[in-house]
Amino acid sequence: MLKRLGPALYPLVGLIVVLLLNAAWLPGFFVISVRDGHLSGSLIDILLRAAPVILVALGMTLVIATGGVDLSVGAIIAISGAIAAGVLAHPSGTLFASFSGNSSMVLVLGLPLIAASMAGAFNGFLVSFGIQPIVATLALMVAGRGAAQLLTNGQIVTFSDPTISAIGNGFWLGLPIPILIAFACAFFVFLLVRRSALGLFISATGASEQSSFLAGVPRNSIKIFVYSACGLLAGVAGLIICSDIKGADSHNAGLYLELDAILATCLGGTAMTGGRFNLAGTLIGAILMQTLTTTILTRGVSLEATLITKAILVVGVCLFQSASFRALFARRGVD
């Protein structure tokens, strides 16, 4: 069992330690009660807050597994939210002003997701063209947020549609809907890469692009696929964030989320160099980060301290993954 977890073991241990510390500090931390017909409690809250990061980190894991990175997810989140709010509220003075009456739900949910996947596919196209992933996605990161602001005319577009706001605030079977969406997506991605040859292809592309290409792996299609998937998942996260606050804030939605997602992926034991990846680890990594944030908040330490904790985490995880750092300890052990 432990062996199967592999690199996900460290973050899992970390998560358990943080959870136990919380339980020691706060009696009733693990208590999940039924309030108004649905579950509530600290654990549920952590999962709810972690949902967008989980979604983005899943896509990021696939991208990093091919040896790339996607910096544009934050901007894609902003675009997706802006389109959803635009189609729904069609504020005057924007591109959506010509929409009239009630827009159908298919359009409200479909358009943002299509736009998000297309943005991702565009990234994938650039990367498969031979451009470094950091730069290729940087362009969309800079321009994308601008485009989102253009779509909403720089305003925060608000709406009051019960169906849409249910995505971020509703419950189903007693659980908040964002959690269900995040885990459904995680399950689907897991199935897709583990029950088909896709996962193998992705790993192969990341491990050695040249040899996998010679072995007949269609590396360009694989790259376009993973970046599109990453864009799509970011689009879903954008819908959740947008429906949670019942509005599209193009300036702040998903800001720095790309960094959180990369961090979650690394915490989960996926190496930045590509090759092997670990979706379960990413899931745990994302939850661990949110647990830390919640811990810091409930301990009454200022929110700013989370950033410092994250910094220490990044360096720590990197050092653990570094061969020469391990060698340092191994040598000491022998002496």
Q: Check binding of 30 to other proteins (CB under 8 A).
A: no
- 279's CB contacts (< 8 A; 6+ apart) are 58, 61, 186, 189, 190, 193, 268
Q: Please identify, using beta-carbon distances, which residue of 149 and 208 lies nearer to other proteins.
A: 149
Q: Check binding of 142 to other proteins (CB under 8 A).
A: yes
Residues in region 231-260 near other proteins by CB under 8 A: 259
Q: What ranges in 173-278 are assigned the alpha helix state H?
A: 177-194, 198-207, 209-214, 219-244, 257-267
Q: Check binding of 261 to other proteins (CB under 8 A).
A: no
Q: Please identify, using beta-carbon distances, which residue of 153 and 165 lies nearer to other proteins.
A: 153
CA atoms within 13 A on the CB side of 32: 10
Q: CA-CA distance, 296 to 51, in Å (whole number)?
A: 19
Which range of residues in 14-22, 30-38, 107-115, 323-331 is near other proteins by CB under 8 A? 323-331
Residues in region 283-302 near other proteins by CB under 8 A: 302
Q: What angle in degrees, to the nearest 10, is found between the helix axes of 177-194 and 198-207?
A: 80
Q: Check binding of 135 to other proteins (CB under 8 A).
A: yes
Which range of residues in 23-31, 97-105, 190-198, 318-326 is near other proteins by CB under 8 A? 318-326
Burial class, 309, CB count within 10 angstroms (exposed 0-12 / middle 13-18 / buried 19+): middle
Taking CB under 8 A as the criterion, the residue among 43, 54, 58, 69 binding other proteins is 69
What is the nearest approach in angstroms of other proteins to the Cβ of residue 141? 7
Question: What's at 132, amino acid-wise?
Answer: Q
Q: Check binding of 308 to other proteins (CB under 8 A).
A: yes
Q: Check binding of 105 to other proteins (CB under 8 A).
A: no
Q: Check binding of 319 to other proteins (CB under 8 A).
A: yes
Question: What's at 243, amino acid-wise?
Answer: S
The alpha carbon of 96 is separated from its chain's Cα centroid by a whole number of angstroms, namely 28
What is the nearest approach in angstroms of other proteins to the Cβ of residue 25? 21
What is the nearest approach in angstroms of other proteins to the Cβ of residue 154? 6
The alpha carbon of 7 is separated from its chain's Cα centroid by a whole number of angstroms, namely 19
Six token digits for residue 164? 């849409």
Question: Which residues form the interface with other proteins (CB under 8 A)?
Answer: 69, 126, 129-132, 134-136, 138-147, 149-150, 153-154, 259, 262-263, 266, 272-273, 302, 304-312, 314-315, 318-319, 322-325
